[in-house]
Amino acid sequence: MAPEKSNETTDANDQPRDTFECSNCGYRTQAEHNPGDCPECGGEMQNISRGRDT
Ligand SMILES: [Zn+2]
């Protein structure tokens, strides 16, 4: 019997989430949209996600 390899599909980026970083203190979080203010210091959150620079 030949052992069949399970063809696993690794979908690491399954969820369409972006990464946002606080421009003031560097706090990072992931969300589907801009959370607005930084929960740590109230600074401005910026989208730093990669792959949309075309
Ligand atoms: Zn902050």
Rounded to the nearest angstrom, the distance between the alpha carbon of 32 and the centre of ligand 1 is 18
Ligand 1 centroid–CA 40 distance in Å is 5
24 found inside a domain? yes
Domain assignment of residue 41, yes or no: yes
C-alpha span between 16 and 34 (Å, rounded): 13
For ligand 1, the distance from its centroid to the CA atom of residue 37, given in whole angstroms, is: 8
> What's the gap in Å between 33 CA and the centre of ligand 1?
17
In three-state form (DSSP H/G/I as H, E/B as E, the rest C), the secondary structure along the chain is CCCCCCCCCCCCCCCCCEEEEECCCCCEEEECCCCCECCCCCCEEEECCCCCCC
Count: domains in the chain: 1
Going residue by residue through the chain, which has 54 residues, state the pLDDT in tens, using 9 for 90 and above. 777 777 666 656 566 799 999 999 999 999 999 999 999 999 999 999 975 555
Q: How far is the centre of ligand 1, averaged over its atoms, from the C-alpha of 50 (Å)? A: 20
Domain that holds residue 34: 18-47
Which pLDDT does position 13 carry in this prediction?
A: 55
